[in-house]
Amino acid sequence: MPADTAVRPRSGGAMLTLDRAAVLAFVAISAVYFRQATTLAAHAPFWMDEILTLRTARLADAAAIWSALVRGAEFTPPLGDLLVHAVYRAGITDALGLRAVSIAAIYVAALATGAIVRRHAGTAPAALAAGVMLSSGLFGYAVQVRPYALVTAAFAGALMLHDRPGRASNRRIVAIGMLLALAIGLHFYALLLAGALALVELFKASSERRKPDARLLIAIAIAAGSILLYWPILHAARMFSAVDVTAPDYYARPTLAALVDTYTMLLGWLVVPLSALLAARLVRPHDAIPLERTAVLVAAIPLGVFLFASLVSHSYAERYALSGMIGIAMLFGIFVRTLGRHADLASVAILLLLIVMAPWRDRGEIGKTDRLDALSTVAAAPTADPIVTGSGLRFLELREAFPGRRIVFLDTPGAKSPDPTNRNQVLRWAAIDPALGIADARTFLCAHPTVSLFAQPANGGADPLPLWLARHADLTPPPAGRASLTRVHARPCPHGSRS
pLDDT of residue 287: 66
Do 300 and 223 have their domain in common? yes
Do 11 and 99 have their domain in common? yes
Do 266 and 287 have their domain in common? yes
Compute the radius of gyration of the chain from its Cα atoms: 25
pLDDT of residue 1: 34
* Mean pLDDT value across the chain: 91
The domain total for the chain is 2
Do 428 and 451 have their domain in common? yes
Give the model confidence (pLDDT) of 150-189 as tens digits: 999 999 999 999 998 777 899 999 999 999 999 999 999 9
Tell me which of 338, 364, 390 is where a domain ends: 364
CA distances for 375 relative to 215, 380, 421, angstroms: 53, 9, 21
Tell me which of 333, 364, 395 is where a domain ends: 364
Do 97 and 37 have their domain in common? yes
Which pLDDT band holds residue 42 (cuts at 50, 70, 90)? very high
pLDDT of residue 207: 83
Do 199 and 317 have their domain in common? yes
Q: Which uninterrupted H or E stretch holds 408?
A: strand 407-411
* DSSP annotation string for 486-497: EEEEEPP-GGGS
Range of the domain at 289: 3-364
Distance CA 444, CA 190 (A): 43
Query: Residue 385: pLDDT above 90?
Result: no
Distance CA 360, CA 140 (A): 12
360 burial type by CB count under 10 A (0-12 exposed, 13-18 middle, 19+ buried): exposed
Share of the chain above pLDDT 70, in %: 94
Distance CA 376, CA 184 (A): 37
Do 235 and 379 have their domain in common? no
Do 173 and 219 have their domain in common? yes
Tell me which of 347, 364, 381 is where a domain ends: 364
**Short-list 305, 242, 102, 306, CA closest to 186:** 102
pLDDT of residue 417: 81
Do 53 and 185 have their domain in common? yes
Query: Residue 220: pLDDT above 60?
Result: yes
Query: Residue 91: pLDDT above 50?
Result: yes
What 8-state DSSP symbol labels residue 414?
T
Give the model confidence (pLDDT) of 58-70 as tens digits: 999 999 999 999 9
Entry pTM = 0.93
**Short-list 497, 388, 363, 498, CA closest to 453:** 388
Do 353 and 430 have their domain in common? no
Distance CA 365, CA 372 (A): 11
- Ranked by mean pLDDT, which of 8-12, 479-483, 486-490 comes out on top? 486-490
**Short-list 158, 48, 57, 40, CA closest to 102:** 40
Do 110 and 249 have their domain in common? yes
Which pLDDT band holds residue 289 (cuts at 50, 70, 90)? confident
Do 159 and 212 have their domain in common? yes
481 burial type by CB count under 10 A (0-12 exposed, 13-18 middle, 19+ buried): exposed
